[in-house]
Amino acid sequence: MSAAWKLAVTADYANADGSTIYGDIGLGTLAEQGIEWSLVGEAGRDLRGEELEGFDALFLLSGTPFGSAQLEGVTTLKHVARFGAGFDSVDLAACDAAGITVTNAPTGLRVPMAHTALTFLFALAHTLLPKDRLVREADWDRKAEYRGPGLATATIGMIGLGGIGQETVRQLRALNLEVIAWNRSPRPEFCAEVGVEQLDFDEVIARSDYLIVTVAANSGTRHLIGAPELARMKDSAFLINIARGAVVDEPALITALQDGTIAGAGLDVFEVEPLPASSPLIGLENVVLAPHSLCWTKDFAESTGAEALGEVIAIASGNSPRNVVNSPRPATGS
């Protein structure tokens, strides 16, 4: 790099001292690589093009929208780096047209996300939240009312066998649990390796005692789990969503939980975030809720930060990044 590479970091999740909502993700190490970073934008509003002009790259720490409106008047931007795996808030077509490379950081969070799924699984299988409440309310005499369904004979269904889905399956199989799976495309080698059946979508839904959703959010997966799918689940089954809120039809899920169509749910994501205080989900005892952060651990911050910033450093140094998620048009000469 002949001149310092200038990196814009979204201010919604970061502070001027380099700390972030996730913890220390390594922003303080960028100066060693000849990269200057500064905060742009404000919490609660979208980015504006005039804030990004003059920067070589943008580091998106949250799911703030990024598309043609943010690119208006921007001529210097070459790279958009997303912290984490999801990039559904980024308009890839607009970035393609502008010749901007978009990267994500999918591998560092696979184990923390798999552990997130297992956390929900054990909490639901052992009715952890009601039992916690009984202790806090000195109501031990009611503990026999909350015998959990357990896991020893359960069938765990996976919806999605991407990186997070595969790691979750490995963790489940290490516990000697029975797993069946659906993925939009066949994964015969992986399924053979871990001893898992890949079945039709409807069959996985109907057979599962716990259904774990890990698919990416896109137009093809919006409301993938809706009223018809919930109706096909066992009335003793549980839904665990660690993907994106839009993958599940939330009003349909609320109805299914209220009328006993399914037994319960574990949710780290919601269609509207933060979840409104008026949501019926908050008052349901058969639901375990987390604020889209159950995987946030020290390990998660360090591994995902290293991977995401590694992509920034690669492009700034003229090297090829590993996790490109779009097809940017080559820059045209003058």
Question: How many structural domains comprise the chain?
Answer: 2
Give the mean model confidence (pLDDT) for residues 113-133.
97
100 and 242 assigned to the same domain: no
For residue 229, pLDDT over 80 is answered with yes
Question: Long-range contacts made by residues 159-162, C-beta under 8 angstroms, separation at least 24?
Answer: 159/201, 159/204, 159/205, 159/211, 159/212, 159/213, 159/214, 159/215, 159/224, 159/225, 160/213, 160/214, 160/215, 160/216, 160/243, 161/187, 161/190, 161/191, 161/198, 162/214, 162/215, 162/216
pLDDT at residue 332 in the model: 55
Same domain, 79 and 206: no
Confidence class for position 331, pLDDT limits 50, 70, 90: low
Residues 172, 273, single domain; the answer is: yes
Mean pLDDT of 256-271: 98
Task: Give domain status of residue 63, yes or no.
Answer: yes
**Is the confidence at residue 52, as pLDDT, over 50?**
yes
Q: Which residues are catalytic?
A: 244, 273, 292
For position 51, which CATH number holds?
3.40.50.720
Structural domain boundaries, residue 130: 110-289
Per DSSP, the chain holds a count of helices (H) and strands (E) of 11, 12
Residue 312: Cβ within 10 Å count: 24
Instruction: Tell whether 133 and 265 lie within a shared domain.
Output: yes
Which is nearest to 267 in space by CA: 116, 130, 61, 131?
116
pLDDT in tens, 74-121: 999 999 999 999 999 999 999 999 999 999 999 999 999 999 999 999
Decide if 20 is inside a domain: yes
pLDDT value at 291 more than 50:
yes
Chain centroid, CA 271 distance in Å: 13
Pair 36, 74 in one domain? yes
For residue 82, being part of any structural domain is answered with yes
- Provide the pLDDT confidence category of residue 1 given band limits of 50, 70 and 90: very low
